[in-house]
Amino acid sequence: MREDRRVKKIATLWSTAFGIGYLPLIPGTWASLAAALLYRMILFRLSGALFALFLVLVFFLGTLSSGLLARVLEHKDPRPVVIDEVCGQWIALFLVPATWTNVIIGFLLFRAFDVVKPFPIRKVESLPRGWGIMADDVLAGVISAVILHGYLLLK
């Protein structure tokens, strides 16, 4: 029983991005902003391979923790769960030179795709448990990354 509580606490901490998910009004946007700033300040320094490995870890831990918190809260996609936005934002910025302009464009692209959820992004939300919570933001991040990298190639 004690271990159950500990697991729930860890899952809550991770899936809410260390409490960012409890910020008022726009927790997903706050989480994306924090992720973008963390990328701009620190994460861009990681090698591509190490950052990719980090993203895989964030994704799988996010899938597990968000699925657990969704079950505990009895909600398909609880508002405080924002690890999906964090992961998606980092995917959008993957291997992007960390200038303020690039990070802002990546942030705006990701938020637009995450909020509007055009096909096929909305479709993957229907996946079960934590998979559905994470998949739409991962896909929004991938689409944002493709557009951002295309822009940078043409620039």
Render pLDDT for 17-67 as a digit per residue (tens, 0 to 9). 999 999 999 999 999 999 999 999 999 999 999 999 999 999 999 999 999
Q: Which structure tokens are listed for 29?
A: 């946007």
Long-range contacts of 23-32 (CB under 8 A, 24+ apart): 27/79, 27/80, 27/82, 28/82, 28/85, 28/114, 29/85, 29/111, 30/82, 31/82, 31/83, 31/85, 31/86, 31/89, 32/85, 32/86, 32/88, 32/89, 32/107, 32/110, 32/111, 32/114
What pLDDT sits at residue 144? Answer: 98
For 4, 107, 145, the CA distances from 113, given in Å and listed in that order, are 36, 10, 11
Local confidence band at 6 (pLDDT 50, 70, 90 cut-offs):
confident
CB atoms < 10 A from the CB of 88, how many?
A: 33
pLDDT tens per residue, range 75-126: 888 899 999 999 999 999 999 999 999 999 999 999 999 999 998 999 998 8
Owning domain of residue 130 = 2-154
How many domains are there within the chain?
1
What pLDDT sits at residue 43? Answer: 97
What pLDDT sits at residue 46? Answer: 97
